[in-house]
Amino acid sequence: MASYLLVTIDCECDKGPKWRSQRPLAFAGVLEGIAGRLQPLFSRYGAKPTYLLSAEVIRDERSADALAHLKGDHELGTHLHGEFAEPGAFEPEVTDAFQRDYPRDVEAAKLRYLTELFARTFGRQPTSFRAGRFGIGPHSIPILEELGYAVESSVTPHMDWAPNGAPGLAFLDAPTQPYHPDPVHPGRPGSSPILEVPLTIRPHPLGRLPVVGTRLEPRWLRPTRTSSEAMIRLAQEEIRSANAAVPGRPVVLNAMFHNVEIIPDASPYAKNEREARAILSRLEGLLAFARAEGIRVIGLSDTAALFPSPNAPAAARGTEAARGHGAS
């Protein structure tokens, strides 16, 4: 069965050491990072990236204009850092809030604000979403359903975010391939019409060893600090595992990083041009692998047609599946 690659990019204002926002807010990560570096790279490989936009990016007129006029295939979706979204929006030094910690009505209002801001700015409804800090919670899926989203991508398999200030936010047993989630427990399969597309994260090969294994970080499909060769091995491992688990089902790889990582001094990961270019080079290695293997790079929302909701009528599921296998 066919394999697909997603490159999902969390898009935010420029940061710096320890993820502190630059003051005044700056957007070189959009104006140069996306428009000048990322989109031309994706276009050269015939790849369709997904840019998930935080509210401050959408509100910035120059950034919104640059995104509205990007050349080449791409998808725009939304990304909630609650500090930047009404009600109660402000400019934080660090975006450290977890979406699941807001009261339901506050979370719903912030998501509605972000969704309507996107629709007013770009003239269409967003259909793909990721929570800032991957902080999706028990109210998030039903709210996203109400707002008309088709695909959600916040689940991080094999990760426990308690050490990062979010006790109970864990996806240790979550599937690594797309599924329709439980509305209250997004890390578990269930009945939601929304499609959950987890990040491609696999355990460390020695992760099952007692004591030592618990200290070994899972491996992410992410060019930030992972070589092209290591990402390719990880992708091949996930494809083999998914094909063995459910033969004949499409396989989806979901890579992520932040737009600000490929600009010098706009994140903790690239202090200079050399380091920024190294991340871009590692990303290009992954794209070259995908092209060589016939793995299409599609948008996040495109996956909804590959995995139609089990609650959809049978005729609709057949139509959606056929459309998905022919989509660009």
b/e per residue, 12-34, with b = 16+ CB within 10 A? bbbbbeebebbeebbbbbbbbbb
Of the CA atoms within 13 Å of residue 323, those in its CB half-sphere come to 13
CA 79 distance to own-chain centroid:
8
Strands 201-202 and 219-220: antiparallel
- When pLDDT is cut at 50, 70 and 90, the band that residue 318 belongs to is very low
On the question of pLDDT at 271 being above 50, the answer is yes
Q: Please tell me the predicted confidence (pLDDT) of residue 205.
A: 85
pLDDT in tens, 164-219: 999 999 999 999 999 999 999 999 999 999 999 999 999 988 766 666 566 789 99
On the question of pLDDT at 72 being above 60, the answer is yes
Coil vs helix vs strand at 209: coil
pLDDT in tens, 220-232: 999 999 999 999 9
Q: Please tell me the predicted confidence (pLDDT) of residue 212.
A: 59
- When pLDDT is cut at 50, 70 and 90, the band that residue 144 belongs to is very high
Spell out the alpha helix ranges (H) of 123-227.
140-146
Amino acid at 312: A
Query: How would DSSP label each residue in 21-66?
Result: PPSS---HIIIIIIIIIIHHHHHHTT---EEEE-HHHHHSHHHHHH
Coil vs helix vs strand at 132: helix
Q: Please tell me the predicted confidence (pLDDT) of residue 84.
A: 98
Q: Please tell me the predicted confidence (pLDDT) of residue 208.
A: 65
CB 13 within 8 A of CB 25: yes
- Alpha-carbon distance of 20 to 93, in angstroms, equals 5
Residue that has been written with the tokens 């359903």 in this structure: 145
**Closest to 135 measured CA to CA, from 113, 115, 112, 162:** 162
Spell out the alpha helix ranges (H) of the chain.
28, 39-44, 55-59, 61-68, 104-122, 140-146, 228-245, 273-293, 303-306, 314-326
The structure tokens listed for 300 are: 């996040």
Domains of the chain: 3-326 (3.20.20.370)
Please classify residue 127 by burial: count the beta carbons closer than 10 Å to its beta carbon, then call 0-12 exposed, 13-18 middle and 19+ buried. buried
pLDDT in tens, 39-66: 999 999 999 999 999 999 999 999 999 9
- Alpha-carbon distance of 188 to 174, in angstroms, equals 6
pLDDT in tens, 80-135: 999 999 999 999 999 999 999 999 999 999 999 999 999 999 999 999 999 999 99
CA distances from 209 to 102, 214, 230 (A): 37, 8, 21
- When pLDDT is cut at 50, 70 and 90, the band that residue 163 belongs to is very high
b/e per residue, 275-313, with b = 16+ CB within 10 A? ebebbbebbbbbbebbbeeebbbbbbbbbbbbbbbeeee
The structure tokens listed for 46 are: 């015939």
Q: Taking the model in full, what pTM does it have?
A: 0.94
- When pLDDT is cut at 50, 70 and 90, the band that residue 328 belongs to is very low
> Residue 170 pairs with which residues in a beta bridge?
160
